[in-house]
Amino acid sequence: MAELKGALIGCGFFAINQMHAWRDVKGASIVAICDRDPERLKIVGDQFGIERRYTDAAAMFADGGFDFVDIATTVASHHALVEMAASHKIPAICQKPFAKTLSDAKAMVAVCAEAGVPLMVHENFRWQTPIQAVKTALQSGVIGEPFWGRFSFRSGYDVFSGQPYLAEGERFIIEDLGIHTLDIARFVLGDVSSLTARTKRVNPKIKGEDVATILLDHESGATSIVDVSYASKLATEPFPETLIELDGTKGSIRLSQGYRLEVSAPDGVRVSDASPRLLPWASRPWHNIQESVLAIQQHWIDRLAYGGETSTSGADNLKTLALVEAAYESAANGYPIDIGAML
């Protein structure tokens, strides 16, 4: 199979991870990059040795010469760039949050489906080594049928220094971080039928909410809690670990701080280390996220090369985005939201 050629749009904070990971992905390489900011274009172009550089995505698509596009811009440009990719019949990966609204996201999924173009959302958290380990343990059946879960991300990490735009939006933690946690809840316990949420803003220097507590009814009958906070001052900072508790009819699973995985089953308790690898280009504490970037990008290339729908396709991601939108509506109005009615 010939190596697939990719183009990346958006050379900002997180794209550096994506560019490093593209170097490690088997079967693909990046041949062109685009950023409307010439300074960012130069930094990334020089760092990764990319000659083809554009400040205008339309000009890059017009020149062509690539098999897929990786959209690493912030959400405001996602709709237009995904449509541009579809109009050129170019398969697209798009960063989360995929769209500002669910109706926008539905239109983006539809335009790619009509064009017959594969579309994947870069929803990488479910690809983290510890999350995959939890899913594998659950699927082995040793804890029986899961009836309860908790997916928790509580931190006091200064996320605003790397991503200053996060302090400026009306919406913050659910849209930016909770979206990952909700996706993990879906990945582990299956799709959700209804949701109730409460939010708070603790940090007076930001506009949006920095704490959210969300109750999920899964279609399987299981109940779970997704709780996220950037206002939690803890003895040992856990960023960016997602902690998981699952209770099943025969046992339980606990993913606790430090990537400790404990599986309690009728035949005993097994404790293992579910730590991510520290890739040569990665740095702590981000290495968990960085490793998952490589995993999701490899998954995309494998699917492009050999066929099959991606785990976090645009269509799949509608179900995660619906939870985000429902959480804001429930928090604003106090009532539970029927998820099926939104899709």
CB-based closest residue to ligand NAD: 12
Closest CB 107 distance from ligand NAD, rounded Å: 17
Residues in contact with ligand 89V, shown as a per-residue x/- string from 152 to 171 under the rule CB under 6 A: -------x---x--------
Which residues, 11 to 70, sit near ligand NAD by CB under 6 A? 11-15, 34-37, 40, 57
Closest CB 180 distance from ligand 89V, rounded Å: 6
Alpha-carbon distance of 118 to 112, in angstroms, equals 7
Task: Specify the 3-state DSSP secondary structure of 121.
Answer: strand
CB-based closest residue to ligand 89V: 177
Nearer to ligand 89V, 17 or 313 (CB): 17
Alpha-carbon distance of 191 to 323, in angstroms, equals 10
Nearer to ligand NAD, 96 or 171 (CB): 96
From 4, 57, 174, 177, residue interacting with ligand 89V (rule: CB under 6 A): 177
Measured in Å, how far apart are the chain's first and last C-alpha atoms?
A: 37
Annotate 219-260 with DSSP letters as a single string: TTS-EEEEEEES----SS--TTPPEEEEEESS-EEEEETTTE
| 50, two tokens | 């990319």
Alpha-carbon distance of 207 to 205, in angstroms, equals 7
| 207, two tokens | 């506009």
Q: What does 37 bind: ligand NAD, ligand 89V, none (CB cut-off 5 to 8 Å by kind)?
A: ligand NAD
95 forms part of the interface with ligand NAD (CB under 6 A): yes
Annotate 31-86 with DSSP letters as a single string: EEEE-SSHHHHHHHHHHHT--EEES-HHHHHHH---SEEEE-S-GGGHHHHHHHHH
Q: Which stretch binds ligand 89V (CB under 6 A): 30-38, 176-184, 250-258, 306-314?
A: 176-184
In 3D, which of 77, 80, 106, 82 has the Cα closest to residue 93? 82
Nearer to ligand 89V, 180 or 299 (CB): 180
Q: What is the dihedral of CA 72, 76, 79, 82, to 10 degrees?
A: -20
Residues in contact with ligand NAD, shown as a per-residue x/- string from 237 to 276 under the rule CB under 6 A: ----------------------------------------
Q: What does 159 bind: ligand NAD, ligand 89V, none (CB cut-off 5 to 8 Å by kind)?
A: ligand 89V
Closest CB 286 distance from ligand 89V, rounded Å: 8
Alpha-carbon distance of 80 to 37, in angstroms, equals 18
Backbone torsions φ then ψ of 154, nearest 5 degrees: -125, 130
From 8, 21, 72, 228, residue interacting with ligand NAD (rule: CB under 6 A): 72
From 163, 202, 257, 332, residue interacting with ligand NAD (rule: CB under 6 A): 163
Closest CB 289 distance from ligand NAD, rounded Å: 5
Q: Given the rule CB under 6 A, which residues bind ligand NAD? A: 9-15, 34-37, 40, 57, 72-75, 77, 95-96, 122, 124, 163, 165, 176, 289
